[in-house]
Structure 1
C-alpha cells in the first residue's frame, strides 16, 4: 500500500466522531455495514469500517475497483440508493450485488473543497430495506459533506 493511502486511512481515522457517523449511517439505513472508502480509478481501499454483518472488511483492506459500484460513483459523481436489488430492473442483473451478496446498498461521493473526488460513504446489507432510502438521503449527504470538510481541515493542519 502506498504512503498516500496510509495517510488517507489515518486521516479518516482522525476525523472526530467518524465511528459515530458510521453508527448513524447504519441506524438511518437499517444496514449492518458502513464504510468510508478511498476510491481512485485503480483502487478501492477501506479507510474506516463498521461491520455488524461480518462482511469481513477492515481499514486498509482493498476490493478490486472494477467489482465495486463505488467505481461507477467515482465516474458519475452521483450517489446510488438501492432499497431492494431483487426488485430493481437495473440492479437485479448487475454483477456487483450478486458478487457481494447484498440486497440493499447506498453510496455517496465524498468530495473535497477543491472539487476532487476522495471516495465514498457507503453501506450495504444482505436484506432488502422495508423503509425507502429516499427518506434519509439528505442526512446521508450531510455526513458525506462533513467527512469531506473534515478531511480538508486535516490536510490544512501542519504535520
Structure 2
C-alpha cells in the first residue's frame, strides 16, 4: 500500500505533458533516463520516469534521499549539470555518481509559485553527454518551470 506522499507524487506526475517533456529531454540531451521527482527532507519519490537505460525506477519508486544529488539541490536551490563526472574535479570522487554509475547528470529544482521547493527535473546517463551548454541549460531550466506550472494545476500549493 502506498502512503499519501507517494500516491500524490504519482498522481502529480501522471500527465501526458510531463511524459512529453521527459521524452524531449532524452532526445535533446541523448541521455537515457529522465525523471520528475518529489524531493523532501527525508524522501525522493519518482513522479514520472522515462528510463531507456534500465536504471530500474518507475513512478512511485524511491531512492534513499541522502544518496541523491537532488537532495543537495533541495538544500541549495541551484541546478547541477555536468557532462562527465570522471572529468570534473568536484564530481570525480563524489560518491553519488560512483554509486549509481552515471557520468552525465543534469538536475534542476522545481519551485512552485509560492516559492516552495517541490522537487527536481533530472536526467542521467552512464555515458558522457554534452549537456553543460548554455542552450541545454536554458531549455531544461524552462522545462522545470513549465513542469512546476503543470504540477500546480494538479495540486495547487498552499499559501
Q: TM-score, normalised by structure 2?
A: 0.93
In structure 1, what is the equivalent of residue 136 of structure 2? 136
Give the count of matched residue pairs. 155
> Which ranges in structure 1 are unaligned for 5 or more consecutive residues?
none
In structure 1, what is the equivalent of residue 72 of structure 2? 72
Q: Take 2:22 and 2:131, find their aligned partners in 1: how far apart are those partners?
A: 19
Maintained 8 Å contact 1:80/1:108: yes
Q: Take 1:53 and 1:133, find their aligned partners in 2: how far apart are those partners?
A: 23
Q: Take 1:66 and 1:42, find their aligned partners in 2: how far apart are those partners?
A: 8
Q: Take 2:153 and 2:116, find their aligned partners in 1: how far apart are those partners?
A: 15
Counterpart of 1:93 in 2: which secondary structure? coil
In structure 1, what is the equivalent of residue 9 of structure 2? 8
Runs of 4+ more than 6 Å apart: none
Inter-CA distance 11–92: structure 2 relative to 1 (3 Å threshold): same
Alpha-carbon RMSD across the aligned residues, in angstroms, is 1.3
Q: Take 1:82 and 1:58, find their aligned partners in 2: how far apart are those partners?
A: 24
Question: 1:52-93: CA deviations, max 9, x gaps?
Answer: 011111111110010000000000000000111111000001
Q: TM-score, normalised by structure 1?
A: 0.93
Residue pairs, 1:62-101, within 5 angstroms: 62-101=62-101
Counterpart of 1:122 in 2: which secondary structure? strand
In structure 2, what is the equivalent of residue 52 of structure 1? 52
> Which ranges in structure 2 are unaligned for 5 or more consecutive residues?
none
Question: 1:29 Cα shift?
Answer: 1.4
